[in-house]
């Protein structure tokens, strides 16, 4: 039984990852940014017992440290970290370079960098040092994006931060391998979460589904299954990988 912290697990992909971990017998710390009720719903959906909830904005370095400290206290120790929390692309935070103001450009970049990259790096550093001190190995998985490779027309900061997160994972994989700690990333394409429902149900829906020769988008459980594998002992030799999960919609 492993002890896992899954950031951004109050809903969507993070919730599915927490559920996958609980099904295999893990204890999970469910992290949320603002919506504690949704996080409690996630915990209520988990198999087993002994799970916990922590909240706060990982984009604030002081809060990030509190989140990790509370997670370790809640479970006694951690074995697994999943960096899933992120400022996701929305219509409200679009910042296409030829169609935005400098003020909106600054705002979008500052927020996405603080959470998606710096926040995740801070949580990773703190959990990595905890794992090294324990001396029992462990795993870190980053939830990246297809956009890191193909770009994001309306959300360049999102693509850049996800590329940075995946590169961070490979740097940490080099440093942490001597300690028996595996670090990997997944790079999903479009996934049918609540956050994407309006887009998928709207005029763009058929075009988005048509990006994959399967004629659909991914589901959270498919991402969760990959993360569950990458955090298993059998996946240690996959450390450093970035696993594409995009239904053959983009090759690199």
What are the sequence ranges of the domains in the chain? 3-245
pTM greater than 0.85: yes
Burial 88-117 (b: 16+ CB within 10 A, else e): bbeeebbbeeeebeeeeeeebbeebbbbbb
**So what's the pLDDT on residue 194?**
86
> pLDDT tens track of the chain, all 252 residues?
999 999 999 999 999 999 999 999 999 999 999 999 999 999 999 999 999 999 999 999 999 999 999 999 999 999 999 999 999 999 999 999 999 999 999 999 999 999 999 999 999 999 999 999 999 999 999 999 999 999 999 999 999 999 999 999 999 999 999 999 999 999 999 998 888 888 888 888 999 999 999 999 999 999 999 999 999 999 999 999 999 999 999 999
**So what's the pLDDT on residue 232?**
98
Q: Which of 124, 145, 185, 192 is catalytic?
A: 145
Which residues lie closer than 8 Å to 243 by C-beta, 6 or more apart? 184, 185, 186, 187, 226, 230
CATH fold of 3-245, please? Answer: Rossmann fold (3.40.50)
CA–CA separation, 143 and 184 (whole Å): 9
CA–CA separation, 33 and 35 (whole Å): 6
The SS3 assignment for 201 reads helix
Spell out the alpha helix ranges (H) of the chain. 12-23, 36-45, 61-75, 102-112, 120-134, 147-150, 156-176, 197-201, 205-209, 220-230
> Alpha-carbon Rg of the chain, whole angstroms?
17
**So what's the pLDDT on residue 7?**
98
What are the strands of the beta sheet with 242-245, ordered from one edge?
Answer: 52-55, 27-32, 3-6, 80-83, 138-143, 181-188, 242-245
Is residue 158 among the annotated active site residues?
A: yes
- Whether 184 and 169 have beta carbons less than 8 Å apart is answered as yes
Q: Which of 162, 185, 192, 249 is catalytic?
A: 162
Q: Which of 121, 124, 158, 192 is catalytic?
A: 158
Is residue 229 among the annotated active site residues?
A: no
CA–CA separation, 83 and 67 (whole Å): 13
Is residue 199 among the annotated active site residues?
A: no
Which of 167, 227, 223 is closest to 21 using CA atoms? Answer: 227
**Token pair listed for 217:** 């988008």
């Amino acid at each position: 039984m492993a002890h896992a912290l899954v950031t951004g697990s109050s809903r969507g992909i993070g919730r599915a990852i927490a559920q996958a971990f609980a099904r295999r017998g893990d204890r999970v710390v469910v992290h949320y940014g603002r919506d504690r009720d949704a996080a409690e719903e996630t915990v209520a959906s988990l198999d087993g017992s002994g799970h916990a909830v922590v909240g706060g904005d990982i984009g604030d370095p002081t809060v990030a440290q509190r989140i990790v400290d509370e997670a370790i206290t809640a479970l006694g120790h951690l074995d697994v970290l999943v960096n899933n929390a992120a400022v996701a692309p929305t219509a409200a935070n679009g910042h296409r370079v030829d169609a935005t103001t400098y003020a909106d450009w600054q705002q979008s970049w500052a927020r996405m960098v603080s959470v998606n990259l710096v926040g995740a790096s801070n949580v990773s550093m703190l959990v990595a040092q905890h794992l090294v001190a324990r001396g029992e190995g462990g795993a870190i998985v980053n939830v990246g994006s297809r956009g890191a490779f193909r770009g994001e027309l309306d959300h360049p900061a999102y693509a850049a931060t996800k590329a940075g997160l995946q590169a961070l994972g490979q740097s940490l994989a080099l440093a942490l391998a001597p300690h028996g700690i595996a670090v990997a990333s997944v790079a999903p394409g479009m996934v049918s979460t609540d956050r994407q429902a309006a887009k998928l149900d709207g005029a763009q829906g058929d075009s988005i589904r048509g990006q994959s020769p399967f004629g659909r988008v991914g589901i959270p459980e498919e991402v969760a299954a990959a993360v569950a594998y990458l955090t298993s002992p059998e996946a240690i030799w996959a450390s450093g990988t970035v696993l594409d999960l995009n239904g053959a919609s983009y090759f690199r």
